[in-house]
Structure 1
Amino acid sequence: MNKYSGIPFYRTISSTPLKAFRVVYKQTDLFVLAERDLTSETLALVREIRLPLEAYIFKNPQFLKSLEPLPCDPEAPEIVRIMLKAGSIAGVGPMASVAGAIAEMVGKALLKKGLTSQVAVENGGDIFLALKRDARVALFAGDSPFSEKVSLLIKRELMPCGICTSSAKIGHSLNFGKADALTVVHKDTATADALATSFGNILKNFEDFKKMS
């Protein structure tokens, strides 16, 4: 376990008019920005989203363990189908997209229910963003000299979108590369999560950048 594990180091907010709250359920640890405190509603959504995923994994243990894409399963629960598609696009196992998938499903559900008109949901450093104005997202890269000195300007017209980061140096996610941090912005948060893992696995030296061009 590295020294950053378990520390919400990426949850520093410079300024926002939105209400911030945290929801933790089993392995899911969300940091949410919304127009009001929706802790109980968000917790209920997390349970609702996780239940079919856990049931599917119980019946299909390869879904949890596979590091390669798995075939589409049209009869699977929505979150499973989302993760299977993301893994297929990125060339990785479906669990590489679990944090992004949950973040987006929670965020979209809060919006659809009319509980808030804008929301940001961060899950293990992976973010679903749906705000009414431009946002800056700072990048944390552990001990890198660039850590917290580089940010992404996410324009309002790009939202909703996902901003997901993979790192070989921090966090508990499986990563076979050597990048301090690799961030992907994509309209689909699960896909952004899976692609960040895929690209992160490739990057072992500077020459590997050519493989992604």
Structure 2
Amino acid sequence: MRPCARLLPDGQRLHLQHGPSDLIVWAEGERDQAYRAAVKRFETIIAEVVEELPNLRAMLSPLTKRPKGAVARRMHDACLPLSHVGYVTRMAAVAGSIADEVLAAMTRNADITRAYVNNGGDIALHLARGTAFNTSIKAHDGAELGRIEVTDKDRIGGIATSGRHGRSLSLGIADSVTVLATSAAEADVAATLIANAVDLPSHPSVIRRAACDIDENSDLGELPVTVSCGALSAEICDRALALGLNRATDFQAQGRIASAGLFLQGRSVTTGARVLPIQQEIQHVPA
């Protein structure tokens, strides 16, 4: 299947699709030039990633050789600083890296004031001086969980969300974790690892299966991934969220992320400003 590109009915957003990559692109300024650059760059991205796919699916270590392709290098550079945190492959940053690469092509070839490339919820963001960006955080059922408010001064270039309801498999039980970082690739891998840390090992309400039994091509191999999580008490949710928050604050202290919001069954925690949760009244049952 060849890459597909079309303007959406609003005439302002561009839809790019090829295999698992499904991008929504928007820009202010020299939009036509930016979109032409996005289409041209997107045409070869998936083929470039596939060429190095076996190596990109392997567990990452400090001794792992840097790959050749531009997107693969973005994946490597985002994941390597966090490779000490459990099991990590460079696929943890693939969606964000593709979004970053398309946005980079746009900013190189057009004068744009604001732009985003949204790859299934992993967003590369460009804000020129004096501009701002606001968006909502949505649950898997469409309910609004919170808001994100950033300006160019915040130096946020990426927003990513991970969790057990996302497109990828998760080792944890978080409904979702949203991360803001310098790039979409960095936000992508951090969201994945923070979501993995929101967990209740051996809890009877959590059902897991080997990743390869769900998806034979998963880079997680035989690792147990979460397939369902029953209703939990507020106290148990908070305990699981605290584990994820510890990892998020560690990443923040290291300068790997700017902020994060973690969500589980109506409960939420954040590392600070920019991610603003909406308090919801949820009925919890005892664990």
TM norm structure 2: 0.59
Residues 37 and 105 in structure 2, CA contact (< 8 A), matched pair in contact too: no
In the TM superposition, residue 44 of structure 1 has moved relative to its aligned partner by 2.1
RMSD: 2.5
| Secondary structure of 2:139 counterpart | coil
> Is 1:51–2:44 an aligned residue pair?
no
1:211 match: 246
Contact 1:18 1:33 in 2 (8 A): no
Q: 1:190 aligns with which of 185, 189, 210?
A: 185
Is 1:172 matched with 2:167? yes
1:29–1:123 contact (8 Å) kept in structure 2:
yes
State how many pairs are aligned: 190
1:11 aligned partner: none
- Aligned equivalent of 1:114: 110
Q: Distance in 1 between matches of 2:111 and 2:11?
A: 13
Separation of aligned partners in 1, 2:16 and 2:185: 19
* Runs of 5+ consecutive residues of structure 2 not aligned to the other structure: 1-9, 200-239, 250-287
> Which has the larger strand fraction?
2
Counterpart in the other structure of 1:21: 14
| Partner SS, residue 76 of structure 1 | coil
SS at match of 1:197: helix
The corresponding residue for 2:101 is: 105
TM-score by length of 1: 0.78
Segments of structure 1 that go 5 or more residues without pairing to the other structure are 1-16
Q: Which has the higher contact order (CA 8 A, sep 6+)?
A: 1
Which of 124-133 and 196-205 deviates more?
124-133
Larger Rg: 2
- Distance in 2, matches of 1:194 and 1:210, equals 15
Q: 1:138 to 1:71 in 2, by over 3 A?
A: farther
Matched, 1:73 2:65: yes
Q: CA deviation at 1:86?
A: 1.6
1:195/1:181 Cα in 2 relative to 1: closer, same or farther (>3 Å)? same
Q: Secondary structure at the match of 1:185?
A: strand
